[in-house]
Amino acid sequence: MGAMGRRNQHSREEQRQMALAAADELVAAEGLAGFSMRKVAQTMGYTVGNLYLLFSNQDDLLAEVSLRTADAMYEYLRGVAARPKAPLERLQAIAAGYISFAQKHSFRWRLMFEHYLPPEKWDHPGLNAQQTALFEFVEEHLAPLLPEASPKQLRAAATALWSSVHGLCVLAITGKLNWSGLKDARPLSDLIVRAFVSGLREERS
Amino acid sequence: MGAMGRRNQHSREEQRQMALAAADELVAAEGLAGFSMRKVAQTMGYTVGNLYLLFSNQDDLLAEVSLRTADAMYEYLRGVAARPKAPLERLQAIAAGYISFAQKHSFRWRLMFEHYLPPEKWDHPGLNAQQTALFEFVEEHLAPLLPEASPKQLRAAATALWSSVHGLCVLAITGKLNWSGLKDARPLSDLIVRAFVSGLREERS
DNA sequence: GCCCGATTTGAACGCTGATCATTTCCACCG
DNA sequence: CGGTGGAAATGATCAGCGTTCAAATCGGGC
């Protein structure tokens, strides 16, 4: 048992990681448009066919790359959230961090949202866990600002708030935002968080 | 002059419109993934090469299809906004209309945002006009709710609000929204508009 | 030393966007 | 009525894509 009849010194799992690393770099460098299975295979020193022994198809490979990016972003946001002490500033820092991560890793970030998974694959376990983790992360940092909210209200508020920040991020990245003289997105993300939180507190009084 | 040496009875401009109609239907039916120049050509009864006499390439054709969709959506939103009299309900109706349009014309709508234009093409005249029109439309309906805001503040508020609604829409369409028991997006879009407007008024007092 | 079977290959298939020499056809002229 | 010039449309061609799978390749066990 063990390594039987193996020509290469890399195990299956090592090959998977090599492929993911190569794919991630390729996406980061050329975007989804410049991505191809052949390039990935060549970068990792194997041939195309071998990739299909590691991943069932291109979509699966890209889905795992997306997952990696989501992980990296989540960790980055946790770091960003650690600094500010005041709850509101912490939320604003998270929002700004979300956007700056997206701007820094533009192609990677866009892959997460432009790589379309057919609806029947929407209940991918790892992917959903990631999403709920992000929602709960926002929820956790929103909670101190809405002490009287019920769990359901809090959940709805976090969903709405994160959607809002995400929308600003999308438009900023894709250039579809009418900047109207604004230098960067930070004032707008601050405004969104501030107004939203203040509006929710108002609502409950 | 006029129709010289023309084999077909369709003028260049007519052909453009036929191509756009065919492309639009194809996108609506199969999405960006199922789109191809050959299919468009076949649907309109011409060959591939001819398409490149009408549009410089696939991106240009798709950009014009996007423009069409944006036009249709804008007109739809104007209709939606005509009904409610109260300013807040009108804004909420616009937000809900935006989302319901995206859900009804899911593939068309997604084309507008997934069809990536390289940054050097971000100053396309028609496209930018469309975008500012939409922003100004929101601004116009937000203004009565923020009577004391300066033009700059109003512009920023409209940008932030529309971004927020857009974000909710994106997540709803792509299935990346943690619904957490919610049936549809309407309550969330209402919440976003309500909280945001209330928060902005609070801020200014 | 040999061979079995796991491992890896790469040619093949049908598709794509894009190009452009070639063909087709009409309007005009004699 | 018979050319004929030139606009209009074609489709073969190219490079590249995702995906498949029969065939080639190699290493451990006997």
Query: A38: buried, middle or exposed (CB in 10 Å: 19+, 13-18, 0-12)?
Result: exposed
Gap from B26 CA to C27 C1', in Å? 37
Distance CA A108, CA A70 (A): 9
**Tokens standing for residue A176:** 């579809």
Whether A204 contacts A152, CB under 8 Å: no
CB contact under 8 A, A164 and B163: yes
Cα A144 to Cα A58, A110, A133: the distances in Å are 43, 31, 18
Q: Which residue of B has its CA nearest to A185?
A: B160
Quick one: pLDDT at residue B4?
47
Whether A141 contacts A81, CB under 8 Å: yes
Distance CA B63, CA B70 (A): 10
Per-residue pLDDT of chain B (205 residues; tens, 9 = 90+): 444 445 567 888 999 999 999 999 999 999 999 999 999 999 999 999 999 999 999 999 999 999 999 999 999 999 999 999 999 999 999 999 999 999 999 999 999 998 888 788 888 888 888 888 999 999 999 999 999 999 999 999 999 999 999 999 999 998 888 676 677 899 999 999 999 999 998 776 6
Quick one: pLDDT at residue B205?
60
**Which of B18, B11, B16 lies closest to B60, judged by CA?**
B16
What are the structural domains, with CATH classification, of chain A?
8-55 (1.10.10.60), 57-203 (1.10.357.10)
Distance from the Cα of A106 to chain B's closest Cα (Å) equals: 12
Quick one: pLDDT at residue A144?
96
Q: Which residue of A has its CA nearest to B167?
A: A167
DSSP state of A120: G
Gap from B129 CA to C9 C1', in Å? 53
CB contact under 8 A, B195 and A199: yes
The answer to whether B59 CB sits below 7 Å from nucleic acid chain C is: yes
Whether A136 contacts B178, CB under 8 Å: no
| Residue A15, C-beta contacts closer than 8 angstroms, at least 6 positions apart | A8, A44, A46, A50, A54
Choose the mutation target among A124, A132, A154, A164 for the interface with B, i.e. most B CBs under 10 Å: A164
CB contact under 8 A, A178 and B31: no
Quick one: pLDDT at residue A203?
74
Residue type, A12: R
The answer to whether B118 CB sits below 7 Å from nucleic acid chain C is: no
Whether A59 contacts A117, CB under 8 Å: yes
Cα B40 to Cα B17, B45, B67: the distances in Å are 12, 9, 17
Q: Which nucleotides of D are covered by protein (CB under 7 A)?
A: 5-12, 16-22, 25-29
The full DSSP string for B79-130 is HHHHS--SHHHHHHHHHHHHHHHHHHTHHHHHHHHHSPPPGGGTT-HHHHHH
Sign of the C-alpha dihedral computed for residues B64, B69, B72 and B75 taken in this order: negative
Whether B91 contacts B197, CB under 8 Å: yes
Quick one: pLDDT at residue A5?
44
Distance from the Cα of B106 to chain A's closest Cα (Å) equals: 12
Quick one: pLDDT at residue B122?
81
Quick one: pLDDT at residue A202?
79
Q: Which nucleotides of C are covered by protein (CB under 7 A)?
A: 4-12, 15-21, 24-28
The answer to whether B37 CB sits below 7 Å from nucleic acid chain C is: yes
Sign of the C-alpha dihedral computed for residues A56, A43, A111 and A140 taken in this order: positive
Quick one: pLDDT at residue B2?
41
Distance CA A169, CA A158 (A): 16
What are the mean pLDDT values of chain A's consecutive 10-residue runs (205 residues total)?
A: 55 93 98 97 95 96 96 97 96 98 97 85 84 92 95 93 96 82 86 95 73
Quick one: pLDDT at residue B181?
63
Quick one: pLDDT at residue A1?
40
CB contact under 8 A, A116 and B114: yes
